[in-house]
Amino acid sequence: MMVQINKICCYIMIVMMVGSLTTAQADLTGNEMTTLAPDKTEALDNVSQMTDIYDIKSMAQFGFNPAWIRYGLITLCFLMGIALLAVAVVYWKKRRPAVETVSAELLPEEIACRLIEEIKRLWDVDGKEYYFRLSAILRGYIHDRYGIEALEMTTQELLPQISELKLDADLKTGIKSFIDFSDPVKFAGIRADKEKMQDHYRFVKNFVKRTTPVMSVMDRSTFDKTG
């Protein structure tokens, strides 16, 4: 009986010793971890802080920018160049000898007369071109004399305007006859004989002469040089 009790006591002692050793080991491990934990925690904190680090922005520059000097000098030189050019132009105009020019504005009949005399050379060349030019002379004269946009009008637009002018009946009839004949030659290729071309030449010339104001300074002899 005593032997069994002793065995039981031995077992209990062994268990208590083993428990003490386990507890001691656990305390040792806890102490080590407690000792190491601050370092690891600090390292983790450092890593966390490193992720919060951002690039430092460049400092804003305040005050005078040296590049402004270059731009200012370029602008100043440009303005000085313009000023010098203006002064040179004014000086040149003052130094230039004054030349008095007299520009005599030609009267409508003078313009028409000169153009009519030049068109005679087309009698033997091309009837189509002749009537294009003779028609332009007549329409241009009507525009200059009466202010009608004859050059821009069609035949249907022009004839009503002509009928409203204070002209002799034979002149109105002659314009209509001229236009009725010249349009097919210009636009349909109808052949025109020389005699008809001369008749229309004389009509346009006579139209200008008869519609020229009595007090005109034009030299009427120009119209009488050729038949």
The predicted structure's pLDDT at residue 208 = 96
**For position 217, what pLDDT does the model report?**
46
The pTM of this model reads: 0.51
| pLDDT in the model for residue 88 | 75
**How far apart, in whole angstroms, are the C-alpha atoms of residue 24 and residue 19?**
8
Tokens of 192: 């025109």
Q: Which residues of the chain have pLDDT under 70?
A: 1-66, 91-104, 215-227
Structure tokens, 160: 């009503």
Q: What is the pLDDT of residue 101?
A: 37
Whether domain 108-222 has CATH 1.20.120: the reply is yes
Nearest to 176 by CA among 190, 194, 162: 162
For the chain, the structural domain boundaries read: 108-222
Structural contact between residues 150 and 204, judged by C-beta atoms closer than 8 angstroms: no
Alpha carbon distance 174, 202 (integer Å): 11
**The amino acid at 151:** L
| Residue 12 to residue 39: CA distance in whole angstroms | 41
Q: Give the CA radius of gyration of the chain.
A: 58
DSSP SS3 for 99: coil
Q: What is the pLDDT of residue 161?
A: 95
- Could you give phi then psi for residue 3, rounded to 5 degrees? -65, -40
User: Angle 225-216-218 (CA atoms, 0-180°, nearest 5)?
Assistant: 30
Give strand ranges (E) for 8-128.
none
Fill in the amino acid letter for 7: K
Q: What pLDDT, on a 0 to 100 scale, did the predictor assign at position 21?
A: 46
pLDDT of residue 85: 82
Enter the tokens of residue 143. Answer: 């525009």
Instruction: For residue 118, give the DSSP letter.
Output: H
DSSP per-residue codes, 190-211: ----HHHHHHHHHHHHHHHHHH
